[in-house]
Structure 1
Amino acid sequence: MALPASQYWRDTDLAGLQFTTNRFRHREVRPHRHVGFTLAVADTELQVRSGTRVTVVPPGALFRIAPHVWHSVQARTHAWREDALFCSLAVARCISPAEDTPPLARLEDDAGVSVFIDASAALEFLECHRLLFVPTSTGDPEDIAAGRALLRRRLSQWLPAPSPTEDGAHDAERPHPDSGDERLNRLYALIASGFHQRMTLDSLADAVGWHPVHVQRRFTAAWGFTPHEMLVGHRIEYARDLIAGGAHVTYAAHAAGFTDQSHLHKTFMSTYAVLPGDYRRLAALDALQPPSARNGIAG
């Protein structure tokens, strides 16, 4: 089943929000995370893993992923579509809960992944997407204005107020999770700080005095992902930020620790459903470039 290419866009009147329509040709999306809130609707059933928890998202349901949450996705079908919106923490801090409208009911709600049970939430979310998507200059101004108004009204229902930790943090900061075990935390910190270098399971095991098999088992049980999955997750996150800031794909691949540009291309597609070169061009119009990506590597 052939699917059109993914689309990324933003509305000039809604700074801090990024809209995407992702067309995936594979069932699994690698572990990754986003700085702000994610809202999405998929046309197939998804299993969203956030750490050791798996949330089943019915097809056509609106779901939300909290900031900084490592997650992977497994879809029921090989070719599927996801309409998504990414909201920066700066915008989330400015959203005031609607006093005259009760929060929408949720099928499942926790600190990581939440699924909205009210079908109208997904329908209105998709309507916002439809109204605000202007692929050419022939967009209807009345539709765009209606989309902006609807989105402003509903964001207060779809997004919670940032936690005290998030509220006091810079959007580009990625907090380290705490497993409660000093050596597991050290393993995570080693990967988070040394992902751009060559790193093996044996070297991680030597660093904490454990057997490699024990490291693999304990790490996966604590974080929900293997050390290698987390290593690649940090690499692709760093490469994405560099590319969003204008870095050439070849530079981003080597700086992030990938063996070559081809390896980055493959991993980028399996994570974001878009080629890194295309993402670089799209990001030039994106107001959500993280400060860490503004490194002067452009041209």
Structure 2
Amino acid sequence: MMPQQEVSAWRPPVAGVVEVFHAHFTEHAYPMHVHDAWTLLIVDDGAVRYDLDRHERGTPNGTVSLLPPHVPHNGSSATPEGFRKRVLYLDMTQLDQRFIGPAVDGPDLTDPVLRRRVGQLHTALANRGDEFEAESRLALIGERLRGHLLGQLRRASAFGGAVPDLSVARTLRDLLDERLTEGIALDEAARLVHAHPTHLVRAFSGVFGIAPHQYVVSRRIDLARRLLLDGQPPREVASAAGFYDQSHLTRHFKRIVGTTPGRYARTVTHDRLRPAHGR
């Protein structure tokens, strides 16, 4: 029996929401990756287990999971039947940088009111004409999330204490972000950062919990998703997002997102409410 997948994705006309993503996976497992937006996740069926900042987490019993931007995480089903999830990707206008640390320390929130409000927001976002309702519900959700995170703020630290080679790792991350689509050779990066290539890779991996090449690929996939949501065809998105060709994009896109760019794009261009069924 082939693994089952259903995916639906769209960008609603609501400020603060980068993407809405609904998926049902039976066997897909996400590799370590990062996003440049906040990931607000609810699971309707099954459960997801994931690693965030080197700690194993999960989504049991109707929790709401808030995964911060730029922090590596993976994900896989915690049940044999797979999982069905709904995700909102929120930009930094909803939660700013100071909340990253508390979200790392406590990403899974047991809050029935918040869980219900997130579900209601998904319903509003799926219906054209309900944008004002969606904006109102998003405002209440943001307020409740900030209430949870403010209580942990003093104890939160995105990476915890003094980290060796933090400056080297951050400098490399800024360089990778600056040269995201054109790319950069490791030797050139080492010269610019004034560090040996091996030390550069070890420092970055030690600080951020993800190898530099994994970071670049996941950031490029985020860019590809945005371009596909804008309606660009996959063949154009590949080069625009920094991939060698469409097959290169497809290989990494399917590994991280769980579906191909073509199927993902069809959920946008045909009907935002109709899932794309994979085989």
TM-score by length of 2: 0.67
- How far does residue 85 in structure 1 lie from its aligned partner after superposition? 2.3
Task: Within 5 Å, give how 1:69-80 maps onto structure 2.
Answer: 69-77=70-78, 79-80=82-83
Per the alignment, in what secondary structure is the counterpart of residue 223 of structure 2? Answer: helix
1:208 maps to which residue? 193
- How far does residue 235 in structure 1 lie from its aligned partner after superposition? 1.9
2:222 & 2:67 partners in 1: Cα distance? 16
Structure 2 residue runs of 5 or longer lacking an equivalent are 96-100, 150-162, 272-279
- Aligned match of 2:66 in 49, 64, 67? 64
1:235 & 1:64 partners in 2: Cα distance? 22
- Aligned match of 1:248 in 210, 222, 233? 233
Q: Which structure's relative contact order is higher, taking Cα pairs within 8 Å and 6+ residues apart?
A: 2
**Aligned partner letter, 1:114:** P
| CA RMSD across the alignment | 4.0
Structure 1's 182 and 156: CA in aligned 2 closer, same or farther, altered over 3 A? closer
1:116 aligns with 2:109: yes
Task: Within 5 Å, give how 1:43-62 maps onto structure 2.
Answer: 43-49=46-52, 52-54=53-55, 56-59=57-60, 60-62=62-64
**Aligned partner letter, 2:102:** D
Per the alignment, in what secondary structure is the counterpart of residue 181 of structure 2? Answer: coil
- How far does residue 48 in structure 1 lie from its aligned partner after superposition? 3.7
Task: Within 5 Å, give how 1:64-103 maps onto structure 2.
Answer: 64-66=66-68, 68-77=69-78, 79-89=82-92, 92=94
1:272 maps to which residue? 257
- How far does residue 273 in structure 1 lie from its aligned partner after superposition? 2.9
Structure 1's 186 and 10: CA in aligned 2 closer, same or farther, altered over 3 A? closer
Q: Which moved more, 1:223-232 or 1:255-264?
A: 255-264
Q: Deviation string for 1:218-267 (max 9, x for gaps)?
A: 11111221111112122222322333333332222123221220121122
Structure 1 residue runs of 5 or longer lacking an equivalent are 94-108, 164-178, 287-299
1:172 maps to which residue? none
Structure 1's 211 and 83: CA in aligned 2 closer, same or farther, altered over 3 A? same
- How far does residue 119 in structure 1 lie from its aligned partner after superposition? 4.7
1:33 maps to which residue? 35
1:259 maps to which residue? 244
- How far does residue 53 in structure 1 lie from its aligned partner after superposition? 4.7
- How far does residue 110 in structure 1 lie from its aligned partner after superposition? 0.8
Q: Deviation string for 1:73-132 (max 9, x for gaps)?
A: 232448433222234455x38xxxxxxxxxxxxxxx814462112355435544654x55
Aligned-pair identity in percent equals 23
2:219 & 2:12 partners in 1: Cα distance? 29
**Aligned partner letter, 1:117:** T
**Aligned partner letter, 1:155:** I
TM-score by length of 1: 0.63
Structure 1's 213 and 2: CA in aligned 2 closer, same or farther, altered over 3 A? same
Contact 1:9 / 1:133 at 8 angstroms: preserved in 2? no
Q: For this pair of structures, how many residues does the alignment match? A: 242
Q: Deviation string for 1:142-163 (max 9, x for gaps)?
A: xx89x969946851554328x9
Contact 1:47 / 1:55 at 8 angstroms: preserved in 2? yes
Q: Which moved more, 1:194-203 or 1:235-244?
A: 194-203
Structure 1's 192 and 88: CA in aligned 2 closer, same or farther, altered over 3 A? closer
Contact 1:47 / 1:57 at 8 angstroms: preserved in 2? yes
**Aligned partner letter, 1:54:** H
